[in-house]
Structure 1
């Protein structure tokens, strides 16, 4: 009974590319075999796949083995037939099965009905079939049922292929992202030292040759120093962006601390002048979270409130409250505001809302992207509400972490 369908090599390639042979049982397939056995009132139902020399069952009802020799598989004939359903009412009366041990042996498979499972290219990968130990004929309703369920198996195969493709793409993206992160880290670290040397050299040149340089020459050196600082800041932001995952995933950074003290430390680091008033939350409270990550987030947001402000008196209001599952933070300022059409894109990497900051420097569009990434890693969300020319409020949450003693 062993025959090979046309284009067998292509069919086998299509089957193996699905990468489903010898996979573990899955509920979605088992539900179909149970249902088709019930509809057709048969003791055996199978989802079979025809490999080069074996028939393997992705799902089975009524048998205790997982595969058979392809030579004796009824499904091998079904996948070669042009009919949408191959039905054999009594295999004992069909000469194709006279020497088949599945008919003449202890199994006594007398009835068979199988629907070829064809992929989008028309290759029959296997069948959805029902078997019985006695002669029978499917009713019109049973035929319709098995055909409909076979179509669902095909859709499951298609979903399996899509999911496999997505997982492969996801793996490739992770690998590319890791490569990019490593590249950015190496390049950034390697650039910081030459930049520091350039800045020091500029100061040496200014000090040593100040009397020999005219005003234009000094301006050139000052501009060069300013550009070096900007590039150094850009590199630092790139490093922070790509290192944010390791910062937020560091469980050793979890600690209990006073929020007021954290904000005071940040204000001291930013060296805020007399032209700025910062108000703190009314109540000082202890919180338990990733202190390093929260410090980075607030440094960036408060720093932006200082930089992107055109008022004579900068006003920054910081607020905080505890919720059952989250800590909620607010950073509000009276700065230049953010145009409505840019309020969504400002969290994208390299996206900026303003042309220049308070000192005339152009932002690099890395900070808010890093902030959003860190907040997401901490189980929270960030949003912005702004009136152009008047004020901006950033609101973000961080998931509350239970302290493990």
Structure 2
């Protein structure tokens, strides 16, 4: 028996093999399908996807032969990997001096015929082979050989896809961990910053109400208070932005529109100059409730903050179709100028006008709304007339309801 020579680039080849992290992994249906198809096409009892480790030949998939590995120096595939671009065939191992006294020829599984196509990477390294084996002389037609080569390329693609999937999962897990750390950091910083800002605002109010202060000093204190309030609002917006992705992890559920109507009206019922009506024939919708509430609260808050009418009138419409839910929030606010409508959903691009409290926002509320809607499989648009009002229209994708 002749032992196959080691490839000249063996150390680099092994390094490439180990980079795929595939050795000693569990059976996978996609690979098993390939070996089963290879046996059927070539009419052989055995077909394997093999990988040549430093001292063993390990089977990622083995059709028709039990076991998971054999010593490398006894394997036929070790000969095949020495020529990465070529099919290696042994018509009759009993008559081939390289294999005649091989224990796999003289004993079980009594190998007579072997054909193997190297599994070759883009860098030219043969990791192993897709092989077919029989215990009797076998002739393969040109079409069978062509199919075997095609299946070998498919097996190599599966190995590469498997590695890329694992890499993507690692990146995703790493990003999730970083996002968790970032969310914790944002929450901590927001809390630590808001406390002293509240103190500054409280002290400025105390100084201006409890003491007689020169007008110029009072003006400076008002500037300090206004700046502190703006910074506090910005921190709150940033915190809301960081939390928006969390909302999407909530599962969809059956939402009672009567309960939603009551909750929304109660939330904005601090005075009688706000009228909020619902226009829908639906009783329930199946949706991410927390995300929907966040969207509606942002849109209603804007309708109130930027309203110049004696009574803020807001109408919320909800309808459904086979594939999606359709919503609108219509108000009688100041309206949005045509030149600003394309920018209102951009992060940090606020309207030019100040709200009813004299503040100019940071353009985060509508950006959060758009992000939530996009991730719920929908879109948002608006129609607005200055001095008349604004109508926001958005959709969300419908999800299948669980069977009862």
Match of 2:133 among 131, 134, 139: 131
Which residue of the partner structure matches residue 77 of structure 1? Answer: 79
Q: What is the alpha-carbon distance in structure 2 between the residues aligned to residue 163 and residue 51 of structure 1?
A: 22
Which residue of the partner structure matches residue 394 of structure 2? Answer: 395
Shift in CA distance, 388/36, structure 1 to aligned 2, threshold 3 Å: farther
- Could you tell me how far 1:170 is from its partner in structure 2? 1.2
Q: CA RMSD in A?
A: 3.4
Q: What is the alpha-carbon distance in structure 2 between the residues aligned to residue 128 and residue 172 of structure 1?
A: 35
SS at structure 2 position matched to 1:187: helix
TM-score of the pair, normalised by structure 1: 0.84
Which residue of the partner structure matches residue 203 of structure 2? Answer: 201
Gaps of 5+ in 2: none
Shift in CA distance, 157/339, structure 1 to aligned 2, threshold 3 Å: farther
Matches within 5 A, 1:6-405: 6-81=8-83, 84-209=86-211, 211-214=212-215, 216-244=216-244, 258-269=259-270, 271=271, 273=273, 278-281=275-278, 287=284, 294-309=292-307, 314-321=312-319, 328-334=326-332, 335-337=334-336, 339=338, 343=342, 346-347=344-345, 350-359=347-356, 361-372=359-370, 381-387=378-384, 389=386, 391-397=390-396
CA deviations on 1:9-46 (whole Å, 9 max, x unpaired) are: 21111111111122222222222222222222211111
SS at structure 2 position matched to 1:112: strand
Q: What is the alpha-carbon distance in structure 2 between the residues aligned to residue 187 and residue 404 of structure 1?
A: 44
**8 Å contact from structure 1 (residues 338, 386) kept in 2:** no
Q: Out of 288-297 and 162-171, give the one that drifted further.
A: 288-297
SS at structure 2 position matched to 1:280: strand
**8 Å contact from structure 1 (residues 111, 134) kept in 2:** yes
TM-score of the pair, normalised by structure 2: 0.85
**8 Å contact from structure 2 (residues 326, 393) kept in 1:** no
